[in-house]
Amino acid sequence: MDTKEEYDKIVETIKQVLENYVAPAVAGHGGIVNYLDYDDGVVTLEMSGACSGCAMSSMTLQMGIESTLKSMVPEVTTVVGVDDPNSSVSPFMSHEYDPSDYWNDDPNIIATDNKPKENT
């Protein structure tokens, strides 16, 4: 393992990347990613908020977060995530889904947004 100073620098860089690049991206969907640990190239993150339990969180973790960390922190080789057991945010739709809100029976139209536009 690296010296304590090297380790501390790696961890600080990981936290900066998470704060400056990852957090804003996942926050747009109600997600939160918390740093838990770094050990011999492996970063462990807690997936919280809407990320906790979300089926897409593994894709976000590998294709988004892991690729970002690996490109910006060369010492990172793998990123693993654990769900936040205390997250109170549901990653699932919270409203009743009615296909007629989104689909029109006109055979010439595949999909349309039938909801009326709000005047802004």
What is the number of structural domains in the chain? Answer: 1
**38 Cβ partners below 8 Å, 6+ apart?**
7, 10, 11, 14, 44, 76
Tens-digit pLDDT profile for residues 18-68: 999 998 888 887 888 999 999 999 999 988 877 777 777 778 888 889 999
* pTM, 2 dp: 0.69
Give the DSSP H or E segment for 67. helix 67-72
> What CATH number did the domain enclosing 27 receive?
3.30.300.130
Whether 109 is in a domain gets the answer no
Whether 102 is in a domain gets the answer no
CB of 70 closer than 8 Å to CB of 76: yes
Domain residue limits at 27: 4-83
| Predicted local distance difference test score (pLDDT) of residue 27 | 85
| Predicted local distance difference test score (pLDDT) of residue 35 | 95
Whether 104 is in a domain gets the answer no
